[in-house]
Structure 1
Amino acid sequence: MPDQPPILSNVPDSFPWGVLTRRHPDLIATVRRLVPYPPEVQGALDELRDMDTIPPLPAGARDRAAWQVWSAAYVGQKWLDVPFLWAESYFYRLLLEATGYFGSGPWAGVDPFAPQKSAELDSPDLARDLENLGDLVGAPEQDGLSAALTAALWGNRADLGFRMSDPSAQDRSQVDDLVADDSAELWRLLDGGTENRVHLVADNAGRELVADLVLIDRLLETGRAATVVLHLKPQPYYVSDATVTDLLQVLRRLEAAGGAACGIAGRLGTAIGDGRVRVRAHAFWCTPLTFHEMPSDLVAELGGASVVVVKGDLNYRRLVGDAHWEPTTTFRDLTAYFPAPLVALRTLKSDVAVGVDPDRLAHLEATTPGWRTDGTHAVIHVRP
């Protein structure tokens, strides 16, 4: 990990400060409202909400030994005074402990974020997306690939990438909102002339996972990928992070939609069955560590990829380090350690920014003060 001061949360009204002091208590309230937990779980959630200092995991917690190592420098400190990336990760681990996710009682294995994920799958926006999938599937090859990539990049703005039949429906601001766009380099890496092995490290469930699956289907159907490994979380993590359970729910939603969506679900189901799509859920994805600290087995697996596509803001922070980088620092330099050609698809939702052209940076700072954190800008970074 490069020697760069990590982002902390102790600056009032900063983005990390707002996450820890406002977003996390609001999330606990939402979980309590949407899941009918018994009094003892509600009490444990209230204790987590009101904690001022960082506690250890309780004795007997499933992964307590690992967290004792990861938290040794932080237990007993104020939440706002430790690295933001670590604090967020540990908060979610404590939330699972409070809800009994790893326990032996009736609430074991219950995803506390499931109602929020299900609501997104039932949304009118997703229904509209799925109705328009026929236009994407039937589009010329490169147009369909580009639309699928755009949808996978923007996550909850994914519908704008699906509407191929009506050019006026394309959100022109998406082009302006791309802080960096190396997508041409991606298509050179996946030129269709070789047996490409693509790994996709997923981020969110719901509409974003739908878009990821559409992209995987397009890569396989166009011959840009011979095999795809889809990396999901082994357990609930941040609110909407995708697990294997979420994958199955999304496949069922695609199948139920009929038409092109059902066709994609069928093709992906077949591809999973014959090994062209493999699903992985490595424990590393739910740790507070950066990708510089990947275990050797995961390094070896990713090292065999033609391209690794890493999705989302959290994974991006773990790729480059959640630190106060100068925004013109190159993405290639910061990810030189990564064991395979790398693509990062990230909608900006936190303070970290790298790989920004100096003129573009000056314009953003002068005209769009919240560009780093408000989800309106994105990057497609490629490191061959």
Structure 2
Amino acid sequence: MPPVVTGRAAGSFPRGVLLKRHPALIERVGRATPYPPDRRAALGELLRDTSETGRIAPLDPDARDAGRWREWGAPRYEGRLWTDVPFLWAESFFYRELLNAVGYFGPGPWRGIDPFAPSKRAELAGASTDSEMAALERLPTSEAERDAALLNSSLWGNRADLGFRLSAGDAGLGERVTGLVSDDSARLWEALGSGGAGPVCLVADNAGPELLPDLVLADRLLRTGRASSVVLHLKPYPYYVSDATTADALACLERLSAGPPAAAGAGQRLRRDVTEGRLVLRAHPFSCAPLAYAEMPDDLRDDFASAKVTLMKGDLNYRRLVGDRLWPATTPFAEATSYFPGPVAALRTLKSDVVTGLTPQTLRRLDESEGSDGSAASWRTSGTHALVQFSAGG
């Protein structure tokens, strides 16, 4: 197996996330919500712990999730530099520590208060969301073109989540590249359209402007008979800044239902689907695990195995799907996901180093067009490139 991604290398993308993006996020959370002195002190302590010389604090043995994190490897990493442990684990544990600092899991008035809610609400209420919903009025009349438009909307909705903007900034995103670095869309639609209706799992990534087109895509699958039900996998608690929870999904359904006619129709149908069991909201604890899906528990494996297709949205889910490892980019996607219990597709804009399934010609073209100064090729992390990959499994 290729080595796991860490933040050890100077100038690397993971190191920048751990030592720059995470401290910036702590300060942003502190500004967005008027936390009391004890919570602000805890945030300050976490800020010190995430400095270049800061180390991972030991687990409180009395914490409600101490047992789970011991199973997820915490004893191996306590006392080590954040940049020395697997990047996926370090990121996940950072968000666990951030929630602890603001009292999300503890007793008292701050229990269950999402520290990312102010940003999520602003995104969902923004003018760009209005524009996206208005665009549903102008969908193509051709069924195939409508399918493609809604899939692309779901794909590119993942382009710039809130956490990504902390380091890139809106001005640094550039224009999206319309030619995908890998495109299995035709194979995905063929799989969705074959064999009659069946359950489809949709593993969500970000809330707000990304989750809206995901929900509209779910509506399309249900209305066209490709899916008998859609199981929408969400996070059981706030995670990675803008990751979607059940509360976020309900807020999106409300926003859709209050939009222009096409959006409102989708929102109202989906609300009815929830009440009648065709749109199932699920929040498995493993959705917030610092582990690859290859280590998923049996009940989650059974869920994916029963699906006609599982759609994995976003960069984090991609890293967990293929394993957060330094794969040669030409490694076949089907090889990296061979453990998966059924057909699986990845819809992802590229915002981290990990990628598989590229042809040698595509890889050469991308590497030659960017990163010629010897730095890491920015196409992997800039959020301007995307892919649709599919494996039939089995």
Category of TM-score, reference length = shorter chain: over 0.9
**Which residue in the other structure is 2:324 paired with?**
322
Moved more, 149-158 or 49-58: 149-158
Call closer, same or farther: CA 1:59–1:172 in 2, change over 3 Å: closer
Letter in 2 for 1:234: P
Query: Which of 128, 131, 151 is the matching residue for 2:131?
Result: 128
Deviation at 1:57, TM superposition (A): 2.4
**Does residue 46 of structure 1 match 2:44?**
yes
**Does residue 115 of structure 1 match 2:118?**
yes
SS of aligned partner of 2:6: coil
| Inter-partner Cα distance in structure 2 for 1:58 and 1:378 | 40
**Does residue 240 of structure 1 match 2:242?**
yes
| Inter-partner Cα distance in structure 1 for 2:39 and 2:77 | 25
**Which residue in the other structure is 1:35 paired with?**
33
**Which residue in the other structure is 1:189 paired with?**
191
**Which residue in the other structure is 2:267 paired with?**
265
SS of aligned partner of 1:4: coil
TM-score, scaled to structure 2? 0.91
**Which residue in the other structure is 1:363 paired with?**
365
Letter in 1 for 2:214: D
| Inter-partner Cα distance in structure 2 for 1:355 and 1:156 | 19
Per-residue Cα deviation, 1:257-282 (whole angstroms, up to 9, x for no partner): 23111111100011111111111100
Call closer, same or farther: CA 1:173–1:39 in 2, change over 3 Å: closer
Deviation at 1:104, TM superposition (A): 1.0
TM-score, scaled to structure 1? 0.93
**Which residue in the other structure is 2:233 paired with?**
231
What is the number of equivalent residue pairs in this alignment?
A: 368
**Which residue in the other structure is 1:99 paired with?**
102
**Which residue in the other structure is 1:295 paired with?**
297
Contact kept in structure 1, 2:159 and 2:384, CA below 8 Å: no
Per-residue Cα deviation, 1:206-233 (whole angstroms, up to 9, x for no partner): 1000010010011111122121110000
Letter in 1 for 2:382: D
Deviation at 1:294, TM superposition (A): 0.4
| Inter-partner Cα distance in structure 1 for 2:158 and 2:329 | 25
Contact kept in structure 2, 1:192 and 1:223, CA below 8 Å: no
Deviation at 1:353, TM superposition (A): 1.4
Moved more, 246-255 or 185-194: 185-194
Contact kept in structure 2, 1:202 and 1:209, CA below 8 Å: yes
**Which residue in the other structure is 1:348 paired with?**
350
Moved more, 366-375 or 238-247: 366-375
Deviation at 1:140, TM superposition (A): 2.3
Deviation at 1:157, TM superposition (A): 5.4
Unaligned runs of 5+ in 2: 161-173, 372-377
Moved more, 190-199 or 334-343: 190-199
Computed over aligned residues only, the root mean square deviation of the Cα atoms, in angstroms, reads 1.5
| Inter-partner Cα distance in structure 1 for 2:60 and 2:337 | 36
Contact kept in structure 2, 1:144 and 1:218, CA below 8 Å: no
Letter in 1 for 2:75: A
Deviation at 1:196, TM superposition (A): 2.3
| Inter-partner Cα distance in structure 2 for 1:325 and 1:201 | 23
SS of aligned partner of 2:178: helix
**Which residue in the other structure is 1:167 paired with?**
none
Deviation at 1:192, TM superposition (A): 5.7
Contact kept in structure 1, 2:116 and 2:241, CA below 8 Å: yes
Contact kept in structure 2, 1:310 and 1:345, CA below 8 Å: yes
